[in-house]
Amino acid sequence: METVFRPDGMVQQDAGGSVGGRELPSRCVIVLDKDLPVGKLANAAAVIALTIGQRHPALVGAPLVDASGFAHPGLIPIGVAMLAASGVELQKLRADALAAGCDVVDFPVQGQMTKNYEEFQSAVVQIPVESLQYLGVALIGQKKSIARIVGKLELLA
DSSP state of 137: E
Query: In this predicted model, what pLDDT tens digit does every residue of 52-84 receive, in sequence order?
Result: 999 999 888 899 999 999 999 999 888 899 999
DSSP for 57-79 reads GGGSPPPEE-TTSPEEPP--TT-
Straight-line distance from the first to the last Cα atom of the chain, in angstroms, rounded to the nearest whole number: 39
Strands 81-85 and 27-33: parallel
Query: In this predicted model, what pLDDT tens digit does every residue of 33-59 receive, in sequence order?
Result: 999 999 999 999 999 999 999 999 988
Instruction: Identify any residues that bridge with 137 across adjacent strands, giving them in sequence order.
Output: 31, 106
* The overall pTM is greater than 0.85: no
| The CATH number fitting domain 3-149, selected from 3.40.630.10, 3.40.30.10, 3.40.1490.10, 3.50.50.60 | 3.40.1490.10
For the stretch 9-15, contacts whose Cβ atoms lie closer than 8 Å and that sit 24 or more positions apart, written own/partner, are 13/58
